[in-house]
Each structure stands twice: as structure tokens, then as C-alpha cells.
Amino acid sequence: MSFLAFVITLSVLVLCHELGHFLLAKRLGVKVEEFGFGLPPRIASLKRGETTYSINALPIGGFVRLFGEEEAPSKTAKDAFMNKSKRARSAIVAAGVLMNLALATVAFSVIYLRIGIPVRTNQVIVSGIAKNSPAEMAGIKTEDRITKVDGAEVGGVKQFIESVKAKAGQTVEIELEGKGGASTAVKVIPRLDPPKGEGALGVAITETDLKFYPIWQMPFLALREGIKDSLSWAKTTIEVIFNMVFELVTKRVVPRDVAGFVGIYQVTGIVVKEGWLAMLKFLGVLSINLFVINLFPMPPLDGGKLLFIGIEAVFGKRLAPKVERWAQNVGMILLVILIVLITINDISRLFSKSLL
């Protein structure tokens, strides 16, 4: 199940990316020689019009082969990629990453359609409970609202945390309002020395509630939240990538929190058990990662192709095909080395966990 989910997830991500190139190339009159599902060797194919649609042996991702992508056969070939304007070529190259951005936004939006729109409140709401924590032992549940601590009204997350810390090691009475509106009181002893990553009670809390609006408003509000999530994850991804590059250059090590294919497969196995909403969020996050990474100005990524077009716009002529091919080859070697380093990092992390 994990392997199937892993293959489907990566295939959706890459096929969506390639579909962006394919659709805009067709729209702008560039001949698409092949649209492939999976990676070669080819298993089966069907030709429709000028395009061959193929199914390939390695069921991960796909590819689009454009006519005249590296060098047009002649200056009169109107359907060759290289004979199109710089604006048209830039649009075709950028279409792939924009499709990944759109996929992530749709995925996040669907989640909000299902769970509701986040709304800021002045209440303290339990959003998660750690295993074997004082909160779990006391019977506190997710979605409970914490209204009082030892009889005193709770005015927000910060006040609640301070109140609990002040009573660490002592018995505290916490009043709760359940999902149905019923009030209950529980007694709990906040921990003096909680495990790393957990608070004194072992609860995750928030001041954000989820609200459903009239059905005609929900798609627009969900889309707004989806866009906000996409931009937030894009910012986080950029920060992680710059941190990774900094660590590689200064310390010559791959940061432990950076994952490659092995790490993604491992996380997929965990997420798939959480249900389709968790998988949808995971798909959106990965799609944002692909969006950001592909924009980096490094051949053979889309950002590298846009860089070549930018150089052509500045100097009035494109780089010699030999120079572009050399840059593409060097970029591919560096990319493969980076993937190998990250994969080694993934495997070493898995082994270290298995030995603990």
C-alpha cells in the first residue's frame, strides 16, 4: 500500500508538471513529439495526430519531448520550440511549475472545503494530545475547549500556558467544554520535566477554530486559504533549500531534516495510514517543493532554461548550442550527486533509527 501510494503520488506530481508544458506548447503551436507516462524503456505507444502517447516501464512521473527543443532543424519550421518568441518559450517552460503551484493550491483548498475555514477566536482549543501524557490520562480530547484553570477564566493560549507552568507538579482542575457543548472538569498534574517537544500537559492547543460558511461562499474561502498555504509552504521550502546549500558549502554535510526519494517513501508509509486528507496535504506540500526546486536557475531545471532565455533577451542572441549542452550536462551531474548525497542521508537516518 505504501509503495503504491508512493508511486501514484510521484506520478501525479510529475505528470501534472509535464501536462503544463504539453498543454501550453500545443496552445502556442509547438509540435509535441511525445508525451510519456513513466520513464523509458517504452512498453506501448499510440500516435494521435503529431504526438506519440507512450507508456513506459518505470511508473514514476513522465516527460514531454518538444520538436526543436534544443535546436530548430531550420529557421522556417514554425512548430519548432526554438523558433518561437522568447515570451512563448518562457511561458511553455514556466507552465510546468505553475501547474505544480495550481495542484498544491487545489489540494489545500479541497482540505479546507472538507474540514472548514480557520477562524481566529479568543478560546483555547485542544488540537492534539501526546501519547501517555497527563492530558490523555485525564481524558482530555481533541476539539475540547479549555474554559477555566482552577476556577479562573482562560483568556487565550499564552495565559493558559503560563497558568499551567505555574502549577507544575501540583494538581490542577481544568474545566472543559466538549464538542456537543457539555461542560466537564478534570484533575491533572502538569509535568515538571516534560519530554522534548511536549508541554507540561502534553496537549497541542490553538486559538483557531474551523467554521463552515454558506455553500456558495465555501469554494472562494477555501481557495483563499489554499493560496495562503501554498505561499507559506513555498517560503518554508526556500528557507530549507538555502539552509541545505549553506550546510553543504560550509560543513560539507546534508542537513538531517532534508529528505530524498527514500525519505519521501518512508513518510508516505506513515501518511497513508492517516487517511486521504493527510495524503492530499502531503501531495500539496510535495508539489510546492517541486515548484520551488524547479525554479532554481540551474540547468537542467526549468529555472535553468529560463536563465538561458533571459541571457538571450539581455545579449540579443542565445548561447551557442554546445555551451547550453555543456551547462545542461554539468548541471545534471551536480543534480545526480546531490540526489545521491540526500539518498545516503536518508538511508543512514533509517539505519540509525533501527539501531535505537
DSSP state, 181?
S
Looking at residue 275, what is its pLDDT? 86
225 is a domain residue: no
Whether the Cβ atoms of residue 96 and residue 20 lie closer than 8 Å to each other: yes
Q: Does residue 252 sit in the same domain as residue 340?
A: yes
Which positions ≥6 away from 233 have C-beta within 8 Å?
A: 104, 284, 285, 288
Query: If 0-12 CB within 10 Å is exposed, 13-18 middle and 19+ buried, where does residue 105 land?
Result: buried
Number of domains in the chain: 2
322 is a domain residue: yes
d(CA 189, CA 168): 7
Q: Does residue 244 sit in the same domain as residue 347?
A: yes
Average pLDDT, consecutive stretches of 10 residues, N- to C-terminus, the chain (356 residues): 79 90 94 88 90 84 85 81 92 95 96 91 85 87 86 83 84 84 84 81 86 93 95 89 77 66 73 86 91 86 90 85 81 73 64 45
Looking at residue 257, what is its pLDDT? 63
308 is a domain residue: yes
Q: Which domain holds residue 99?
A: 2-114+237-355
| Sole residue written with cell 511549475 | 97
Whether the Cβ atoms of residue 11 and residue 62 lie closer than 8 Å to each other: yes
Instruction: Indicate the average pLDDT of the chain.
Output: 84
141-180 pLDDT tens trace: 888 888 888 888 887 888 888 888 888 888 888 898 887 7
pTM: 0.82
Q: Does residue 151 sit in the same domain as residue 12?
A: no
Q: Does residue 48 sit in the same domain as residue 197?
A: no
Q: Does residue 246 sit in the same domain as residue 345?
A: yes
Looking at residue 138, what is its pLDDT? 87
Question: Taking the CB of residue 139, how many other CB atoms lie within 10 A of it?
Answer: 12
Q: Does residue 260 sit in the same domain as residue 303?
A: yes
CATH (domain of 139): 2.30.42.10
Q: Does residue 23 sit in the same domain as residue 89?
A: yes
Closest CA to 201 of 186, 191, 214, 211: 191
Give buried/exposed letters for 225-235 (b at 16+ CB in 10 A, else e).
bbeebbeebbe
226 is a domain residue: no
d(CA 98, CA 26): 16
Q: Does residue 18 sit in the same domain as residue 34?
A: yes
Q: Does residue 339 sit in the same domain as residue 268?
A: yes
